[in-house]
Amino acid sequence: MPRGLEPAAAARRLGNRPYLILHGMQDEIINPRHADILAAAARDAGVRTTLWTDPTGDHNSMVPVNPAAQRAIADFFTQHLHREPPSP
């Protein structure tokens, strides 16, 4: 992580924007505990946070090969961004 970047501080500043974190528990680049740290920081600041973890997921291939991860993303967007069109 480059110096000066503080992901937990950025997570706290999301305000009323929903926040989705997906993390593979087999990630060898970013320790899975960092997902918990970010989620806790955001939740403590009142940010609506969804943390989804994959016990077998690694750093890069989790989403392309895991239908459950893809469903978690679709559900998140449906829940937080979907709006019914106005009636004619």
State pLDDT tens for residues 32-88.
999 999 999 999 999 999 999 999 999 988 899 999 999 999 999 999 987 777 777
Q: What is the pTM of this model?
A: 0.85
With respect to residue 8, please indicate whether it lies within any of the assigned structural domains: no
Write down the number of H helices and E strands in the chain: 4, 2
**Encoded tokens for 66:** 């895991």
Q: Is 50 helix (H, G, I), strand (E, B) or coil?
A: strand
Q: Is the pLDDT of residue 1 over 70?
A: no
Domain with 43, as residue range(s), is 17-80
With respect to residue 67, please indicate whether it lies within any of the assigned structural domains: yes
With respect to residue 4, please indicate whether it lies within any of the assigned structural domains: no
Question: How far is Cα 38 from Cα 21, in angstroms, rounded to an integer?
Answer: 8
With respect to residue 86, please indicate whether it lies within any of the assigned structural domains: no
Number of structural domains the chain divides into: 1
